[in-house]
Amino acid sequence: MTTIAIIGGGPAGLMCARVLQLHGIETTVYDADAAVDSRDPGGTLDLHADSGQIALDDAGLMGAFLALARLEGQAKSRRDHHGTVLTAFTPAEGDAAAPEIDRGQLRTMLYEHLQPGTVHWGHKLARATPHRLEFANGVTVEADLVIGADGAWSKVRPLLTDATPTYLGVSFLDARFDDVDTRHPEVAAIVGDGHMFAADGAGRGVIVQRNSNGVVRGYVAFRAELDWHVAAGVDIADRESMRSHLVKEFGEWCPDMLPLITDNDSDYVQRSFWALPAPLTWDHVPGATLIGDAAHLMAPFGGHGTNLALLDGAELAHAIKAESNLDDAVTRYETAMFARSGELAASANTGLTRFFATTSPDAPHLPPDHAQEHKDYQARAAEYRRVSR
């Protein structure tokens, strides 16, 4: 019997397992987390009609997705650091080009639609060699195909390529506002039903996102070295110390925008933007392949990362079903994946650089025209279905 091991229980790995099981193909997912909900998965995602939704449809999960999704969450606006609205987009009634869903909700939904026992939690991969996996808990697994869905710092990736992520020069602090409509009405008014992007043309920006259950996630971002807090003498774990520092750093922002930076209910969680070289390809290696961020980690501009991850998982599963052997299946999948991900990854990385550019605040920045973007999602989805099924 052919054995398939998926490393990573995020959207890519769980989607791949789901579609494989629909095809009657057994697989096991190994993940380092203790459980599906053992850590904060982050904010919200928009799932595109031309990619993520295609995978969900293939997996028979569009109904489950739409039961959780927020169509109104597609709304977006861009402001300058004085609070002036520069562009705004409100989705039309029934527009489902890119509905929003919380990351945790998506992961749990995918997990709950797998056969019981599919995911082996608490399995952190320590070492991977062709067809053999060694986990930190002492478990060793042999597999005919190892699918690396283990994200930015994949331990499967070195089997295929020497490429490693590089820092894109932008750090950000993840914070949240709870019960936002009651406790933080000024933040609720600025973010609206969806997203708000703001930049000052000096390498600083704020992104806030409406999540479910009255929560807004905020991202305070700026160009900086990785160890910026050391040079600044700031204790990231000390919320008040961080606030004092940010008030100085964002001193030219108007008072109406400052609550986005200072009034959060959580500590500031430090994160940073990394990406793999784009476009990234590799020569076929028997017995291993990559999906999602493990294959094409990119900046989160344009919202392509998770969407491509879901489509990767579904398309690899389809290829395994369609081809007579695993080598042909992986080659078929990788050829298509390289073609669709390379340009999008390069564009996302460029978008991040532009948004946080140290130029005039009048210079063009992302996000783009979202009304046209939604039309493009829908047109590409129709074309994809026409030529690929």
Cα–Cα distance, 298 to 135 (Å, whole number): 27
Over residues 149-173, the mean pLDDT reads 96
Are 280 and 163 in contact by the 8 Å Cβ rule? The answer is yes
| Tokens coding 360 | 């005039």
91 DSSP assignment: P
Over residues 94-121, the mean pLDDT reads 96
What percentage of the chain has pLDDT greater than the value 70?
A: 94
Cα–Cα distance, 294 to 372 (Å, whole number): 30
Let me know if 203 is exposed, middle or buried by CB neighbors in 10 A (0-12, 13-18, 19+): middle
Q: Which domains does the chain have, with CATH numbers?
A: 4-71+100-165+275-376 (3.50.50.60), 168-274 (3.30.9.30)
pLDDT, tens digit (0-9, with 9 covering 90-100), for 237-265:
999 999 999 999 999 999 999 999 999 99
pLDDT of residue 363: 44
pLDDT, tens digit (0-9, with 9 covering 90-100), for 339-378:
999 999 999 998 888 878 765 444 444 455 666 777 777 7
Lowest mean pLDDT among 22-36, 179-193, 372-386: 372-386
**pLDDT > 90? residue 168:** yes
- Calculate the average pLDDT of the chain: 92
| pTM score, whole prediction | 0.93
pLDDT of residue 365: 46
The Cα angle at residue 225 between residues 219 and 229, in degrees rounded to 5: 70
pLDDT of residue 37: 95
Closest CA to 281 of 172, 367, 150, 161: 161
**pLDDT > 80? residue 281:** yes
Q: How confident is the model at residue 303 (pLDDT cuts 50, 70, 90)?
A: confident
pLDDT of residue 371: 66
**pLDDT > 60? residue 138:** yes
pLDDT, tens digit (0-9, with 9 covering 90-100), for 304-318:
999 999 999 999 999
Cβ atoms within 10 Å of 237's Cβ, excluding its own: 10
Over residues 60-73, the mean pLDDT reads 97
**pLDDT > 90? residue 108:** yes
Lowest mean pLDDT among 79-83, 161-165, 198-202, 310-314: 198-202
What percentage of the chain has pLDDT greater than the value 90?
A: 83
pLDDT of residue 379: 74
The Cα angle at residue 269 between residues 264 and 275, in degrees rounded to 5: 130
In 69-114, which ranges are continuous DSSP H helix? 103-112
Q: What is the CA radius of gyration of the chain?
A: 21
